[in-house]
């Protein structure tokens, strides 16, 4: 049985530390600013993140691209040539075309590597929701599960990832096509902070509107607390888009007081998700009850 390499993409928002800890690689997407293309690296610092979000705050538009075909080919073959099977866990297909491109490349490569297994999984998630699934897949690989078993197990829990994100406005998500135009009114109310989650198809949907920043933090913690399963056995993940340190600490302490979780991890929303969701967004993730609802298309 071949060893299994877990691969994700720039949308997973896994830090350099987590990528190294769990032996995960990722396929790079790209950002574009003033006509200049830059790789969407996850090995960026707090200062790098601040620079990006300050650019967006200044009114400049940062656009993004999905994983290029050559990037998929290079990353996949790097491990196939070393005798690995590959499991790629990609951003929700409702938010990026990367997983579909990955599948096309996998179909071509399997003809060159007929003894290998290549799986491309639509995570139905983004940011640390996608990253959580990659971490779980890496744990399974370390425990000796083969590529088929890992694919089956990860696919089965994609809808158990529960995400709640609050943003200052839906303007950035609207421009990036991440939420439907009919949902835009949620972001146009003075002082009202939209709460976003994912439906069972991986579509980002606004589900509530809350007056005030601190109230939005209270609400996302409440929503996660209501659906999380066995929190004492899992890590709750926080990711933020250059929020103030005091805000992040406040949210962390709120989770500690309301959810009896084993651990809390704090990360930064990466360049791809950040360009879409905008500065000062913050989200929390954990495993919970299976999502069974559909949002408005």
Read off the tokens for 146: 């083969």
Structure tokens at 54: 């300050």
Residues facing 194 on adjacent strands: 209
Task: Write out the two tokens for 89.
Answer: 């866990």
Specify whether the CB–CB gap between 88 and 8 falls below 8 A. Answer: yes
Answer whether 255's CB lies under 8 Å from 284's CB: yes
Give the per-residue pLDDT at 177: 53
Task: Residue 22: give the domain boundaries.
Answer: 4-50+63-159
Asked whether residue 18 falls in the same domain as residue 91, the answer is yes
* pLDDT tens figures, 108-167: 999 999 999 999 999 999 999 999 999 999 999 999 999 999 999 999 999 999 999 998
List of the chain residues with pLDDT < 50: 176, 181-187, 297
Q: What is the pLDDT of residue 258?
A: 98
DSSP string computed for 199-237: -TTS-EEEEEEEESHHHHHHHHHHHHHHHB--GGGSEEE
Neighbours of 120 (CB within 10 A): 23
Q: Are 37 and 155 members of one domain?
A: yes
**Is position 244 within any domain?**
yes
244 shares a domain with 225:
yes
Whether residues 252 and 152 fall in one domain: no
Tokens 């928002």 map to which residue?
A: 13
Among 125, 159, 193, the domain-final residue is 159
Do 86 and 214 belong to one domain? Answer: no
Tell me how many domains the chain contains. 2
Q: What is the DSSP letter of 117?
A: -
In-domain check, residue 58: no
The predicted structure's pLDDT at residue 174: 57
CATH number for 28: 3.40.50.10170
Q: Which residues, including other chains, have CB under 8 Å from residue 45's CB and lie 6 or more apart?
A: none
Across-strand partners of 9? 27
Q: What is the CATH number of the domain that holds 197?
A: 3.30.1180.10
CA distance 289 to 297: 23
Q: What is the pLDDT of residue 193?
A: 86
- 57 in any annotated domain: no
In this structure, what token pair is assigned to residue 68?
């290029």
Residue 134 shares a structural domain with residue 21: yes
pTM flag (> 0.85)? yes
Same-domain check for residues 171 and 115: no
How many Å apart are CA 294 and CA 213, to the nearest integer? Answer: 27
| CA-closest candidate to residue 167, choices 141, 186, 180 | 186
3-state secondary structure 56-98: HHCCCCCEEECCCHHHHHHHHHHHHCCCCEEEEEECCCCCCCH
pLDDT of res. 171: 64
Same domain, 38 and 154: yes
Please tell me whether residues 19 and 132 are part of one structural domain: yes
Which pLDDT score is estimated for 185?
47
Question: Exposure string (b/e) for 210-219, b if CB count within 10 Å is 16 or more?
Answer: beebeebbbb
């Amino acid at each position: 049985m071949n060893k299994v390499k877990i691969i994700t993409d720039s949308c997973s928002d896994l830090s350099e530390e987590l990528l190294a800890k769990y032996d995960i690689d990722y396929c790079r997407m790209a950002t574009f600013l003033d006509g200049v293309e830059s790789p969407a690296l996850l090995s960026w610092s707090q200062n790098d993140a601040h620079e990006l979000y300050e650019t967006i705050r200044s009114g400049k538009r940062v656009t993004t691209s999905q994983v290029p075909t050559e990037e998929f080919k290079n990353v996949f073959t790097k491990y196939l040539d070393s005798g690995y099977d590959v499991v790629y866990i990609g951003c929700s297909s409702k938010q990026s075309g990367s997983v579909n491109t990955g599948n096309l490349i996998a179909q071509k490569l399997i003809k060159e590597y007929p003894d290998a297994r290549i799986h491309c999984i639509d995570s139905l998630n983004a940011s640390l929701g996608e990253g959580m699934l990659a971490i779980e897949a890496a744990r399974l690989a370390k425990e000796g599960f083969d590529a088929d078993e890992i694919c089956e197990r990860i696919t089965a829990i994609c809808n158990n990832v529960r995400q709640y994100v609050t943003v200052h406005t839906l303007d950035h998500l609207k421009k990036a096509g991440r939420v439907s135009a009919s949902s835009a009114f949620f972001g146009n109310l003075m002082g009202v902070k939209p709460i976003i989650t994912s439906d069972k198809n991986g579509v980002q949907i606004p589900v509530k509107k809350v007056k005030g920043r601190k109230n939005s933090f209270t609400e996302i913690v409440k929503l996660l607390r209501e659906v999380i399963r066995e929190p004492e056995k899992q890590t709750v993940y926080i990711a933020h888009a250059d929020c103030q340190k005091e805000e992040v600490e406040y949210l962390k302490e709120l989770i500690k007081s309301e959810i009896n979780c084993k651990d809390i991890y704090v990360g930064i929303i990466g360049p791809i998700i950040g360009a879409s969701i905008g500065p000062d967004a913050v989200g929390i993730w954990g495993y919970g009850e299976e999502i069974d609802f559909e949002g408005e298309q």
